[in-house]
Amino acid sequence: LTYATDGQYLPESLDTLNHFLRDHYTGEVGNIDPELFDLLYQLRLVLRSDQPFQVISGYRSPFTNNRLRTTRSGGVAKRSLHMDGKAIDIRLPGVALSDLRDAALSLKAGGVGFYANEDFVHIDTGKIRSW
């Protein structure tokens, strides 16, 4: 899916991506920050991968976020950037999770969380930080 051309985001493509990354518990569609797609694109370039990302979690409604916070043993922030459409949890087939994390950190473009036991990397368009 081409989501931008000549530096301009394509609204119809963004709508399609918003729907694809909807809250998979409630079906609620949020507005995903287009810069998150830019990060994913940059990751593919850095890693020289043409594999599709596997998405663990995209947009989360406040209801879902609260439910996950109270039913899981930690790891879900009260004010998660997933609720703002600014975060995504991913893995990339054929790429070691640690390499995916390192590539995300090298971009210096937002938050990077490494969840080895859960088998995903969190990236977001918030402040530069890592955990």
In this prediction, residue 75 carries a pLDDT of 73
Q: Which three-class secondary structure state does DSSP give residue 77?
A: coil
**Cα dist. 110→29, 35, 59, 106 in Å?**
23, 10, 17, 10
Tens digit of each residue's pLDDT (9 = 90 or more) over 73-107: 667 888 899 999 999 999 999 999 999 999 999 99
In this prediction, residue 73 carries a pLDDT of 61
pTM above 0.85, yes or no: yes
In this prediction, residue 18 carries a pLDDT of 98
Given a cut of 70, the residues of the chain with pLDDT beneath it are: 73-74
